[in-house]
């Protein structure tokens, strides 16, 4: 199982809506690097859901439920189906992630505009330590 991070603007698709919907098709990713991350996703992989605006933070967890596939609406994009799992409460803020000093080489810190990316194992470990009750 791999871990990924997927960003969403809370004005466009907030965690509240994802929780209500229970499942979603994650689409709209056009950046080639981000599209490669979606192509690498497999059923059972876990995803940190990240609100990118306002108080930027990881706010929830999801599970991949389908293989990735080309977006039928956009030849430059890929899509994947996700199932909402639970919230991360309190959210893990970008500020905390940066101030830890552990992730300077991660795309979340280095390439702030990249919307979807793999999450390094050391980040998953950090989240497990920070949130021992969180089901990762």
**Fold category of 3-130 in CATH:** ph1033 like fold (3.10.590)
**pLDDT averaged over the chain?**
94
Q: What is the DSSP string of the chain?
A: --EEEEEE-TTTS-HHHHHHHSEEEEEEE-SHHHHHHHHH--TT-EEEEEE-SSS-EEEEEEEE-S--EE-TT-TT-EEEEEEEEEEEEEEEEHHHHHHTSS-TTSHHHH-TT--EEEPPHHHHHHHHHH-TTS--
Residue 42 has pLDDT above 90, yes or no: yes
Please write the tens of the pLDDT for every residue from 1-25.
Answer: 999 999 999 999 999 999 999 999 9
Break the chain into its structural domains and give their ranges. 3-130
Residues 104-114 have a mean pLDDT of: 88
What pTM value is reported for the model? 0.94
Read off the tokens for 59: 């706010």
Label residue 127 by pLDDT band (50, 70, 90): very high
pLDDT of 46 above 80: yes
Length of the chain: 136
| C-alpha span between 134 and 129 (Å, rounded) | 9
């Amino acid at each position: 199982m791999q871990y990924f991070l997927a960003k969403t603007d809370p004005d466009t698709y907030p965690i509240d809506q994802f929780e209500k919907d229970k499942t979603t098709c994650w689409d709209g990713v056009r950046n080639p690097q981000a599209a490669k991350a979606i192509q690498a996703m497999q059923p059972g992989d876990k995803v940190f859901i990240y609100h990118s605006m306002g108080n930027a933070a990881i706010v929830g967890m999801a599970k991949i439920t389908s293989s990735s596939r080309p977006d039928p609406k956009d030849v430059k994009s890929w899509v994947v189906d996700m199932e909402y799992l639970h919230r991360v409460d309190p959210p893990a803020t970008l500020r905390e992630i940066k101030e830890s000093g552990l992730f300077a080489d991660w795309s979340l810190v280095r390439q702030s505009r990249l919307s979807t990316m793999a999450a390094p194992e050391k980040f998953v470990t950090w989240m497990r330590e920070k949130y021992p009750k969180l089901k990762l």
